[in-house]
Amino acid sequence: MHYENLVVLQNRSHSSDLYNRLSGNNLTCEYDYFTRDVSILWEVLLSPFVTLMTICTNLFVICIFTSKVLRSPTTIILIGLAVSDSMSSLFANVLHPYFYFTSDNVKNILPYPLCSVYMLLQNLGVSFHTVSVYLTAFLGIQKFSIVAFPFRSRRIFTKTMSYWATVIIYIVGFAIFSPNYLVFEFSRAGDVDSPNCKDYTENQDYCLFRSASWLNGGTKKHYHMYYYMTRCIVIQIIPCFVITFSTIYLVRSLVSNKVSMATAEQHRRKRRLTIMITLIVGIFLVVELPGAIFFAFDFHRFLTGQVVIPEDIDHLSVRIHNFLLCLGYACNFWIYFALSDQFRTQIRKSLRRLHITKTTNTTRVIVTRSY
């Protein structure tokens, strides 16, 4: 039972397939092996490298945007986005290299309790990604309001409002899929006392799992329906519609006659702001679109029981999509760096202060030693 059939990182879930296989392939023992097949290209080399780059660059983003010069209602949202992107990428990929280099069995069965830790990290990654989706949508709403209703929106979208909006989005993002943290139960193979599970306890340290007891009976099907409908409406349709609409309106407004009436400097700043927001939102939509398409295939399989995509192709698409998500997380820093003069200025000042601090500390050490 490969983990790709349990929960696919960053929004792709095959939990219904898991339950079907638990009930269909294993008629006597309610447990099954918890396995994870790791790809050296996508999950050991590429994704961890991009994750490290994302965390490092987003640390710069957080430090720069928290300065008084750049702190604004928009940058507060961007700080929350930098945190959620970094955490999502980290939790989704942190254990893959460890699995690859420490796995000592051909079945790729994880030991207990590492399996439960792995599942917890994957759920945290999905939750943080949900937060990123909502923060991006809120950023689109904020910019749309500022352009459409410039005077009224400036009184509404204050720094305090952005703080509270970020906190609420984090709470909602985690609350929506909080049942996912309780879907499975994990046990050490040696602790499973059942004559029907003798074939699964050959290695005492292997990890076994089963569906949680609260999902017995019709609850399992109802939860599946809740999950798919919530994902479809709340995570896929509404945010994508909001982001697309607000971006189109923003671009059309900034290229209208209102922009030509502004000064040359104001026009240049507004144009760069438009390009920056368009790139952030555009990359988000491009990266999310493949996930939405494959999610539709999963939903079709749940409703009809028909498999549209072969399993090996599905697993490869999952790995590619997860890598693209990590790559999208890393792009925001370079967008800020390329299009924001103030962002580049603050980076230079920060590096200059760091250099001065290092030089001062070195001088103090030399003077102290001379005595």
pLDDT of residue 200: 65
Task: Please check the confidence at residue 79 and state whether its pLDDT lies above 90.
Answer: yes
In this structure, of 161-170, 333-342, 357-366, the range with the lowest mean pLDDT score is 357-366
**pTM given for the model:** 0.81
Higher-confidence position of 132 and 337: 132
pLDDT of residue 135: 92
Please compute the mean of the pLDDT values over residues 11-38 and round it to a whole number.
54
Please compute the mean of the pLDDT values over residues 148-159 and round it to a whole number.
81
Cα dihedral 185→191→194→200 (10° resolution): 80
pLDDT of residue 113: 81
Q: How far is CA 39 from CA 112, 137, 158, 197, 369, in A?
A: 21, 32, 45, 30, 53
pLDDT band at 2 (very low <50, low <70, confident <90, very high): very low
Q: Which two tokens stand for residue 2?
A: 């490969």
Burial 210-231 (b: 16+ CB within 10 A, else e): bbeeebeeeebeebbeebbeeb
What whole-number distance in Å separates Cα of residue 356 and Cα of residue 21? 62
Higher-confidence position of 2 and 273: 273
Task: Please check the confidence at residue 262 and state whether its pLDDT lies above 70.
Answer: no
Task: Please check the confidence at residue 301 and state whether its pLDDT lies above 50.
Answer: yes
Residue matched to tokens 């005077």: 151
For residue 292, give every residue at least 6 positions away whose Cβ sits within 8 Å of its Cβ, in sequence order, or none. 236, 240
Question: What is the DSSP-derived secondary structure letter of residue 38?
Answer: P
What whole-number distance in Å separates Cα of residue 195 and Cα of residue 193? 7
Question: What is the DSSP-derived secondary structure letter of residue 309?
Answer: S
Q: Which two tokens stand for residue 230?
A: 């919530």
Q: Which two tokens stand for residue 303?
A: 């409703």
What whole-number distance in Å separates Cα of residue 288 and Cα of residue 329? 12
Q: How far is CA 329 from CA 151, 326, 355, in A?
A: 33, 5, 28
What whole-number distance in Å separates Cα of residue 4 and Cα of residue 53? 25
- Per the CB < 8 A criterion, the answer to whether 39 and 319 are in contact is yes
Given strand 32-33, what is the order of strands in its sheet? Answer: 32-33, 207-211, 184-188
What whole-number distance in Å separates Cα of residue 329 and Cα of residue 50? 9
Q: Which CATH class is domain 3-9+27-353?
A: mainly alpha
Task: Please check the confidence at residue 242 and state whether its pLDDT lies above 60.
Answer: yes
R_g of the chain computed on alpha carbons = 24
> Minimal CA–CA distance to 247: which of 236, 259, 255?
255
Beta bridge partners of 206: 111
Question: What is the DSSP-derived secondary structure letter of residue 31?
Answer: -
Three-state SS string over 227-286 comes to HHHHHHHHHHHHHHHHHHHHHHHHHHHHCCHHHHCCCHHHHHHHHHHHHHHHHHHHHHHH
- Per the CB < 8 A criterion, the answer to whether 246 and 144 are in contact is yes
Q: Which two tokens stand for residue 314?
A: 């599905």
What whole-number distance in Å separates Cα of residue 224 and Cα of residue 213? 15
Q: Which two tokens stand for residue 27?
A: 């008629």
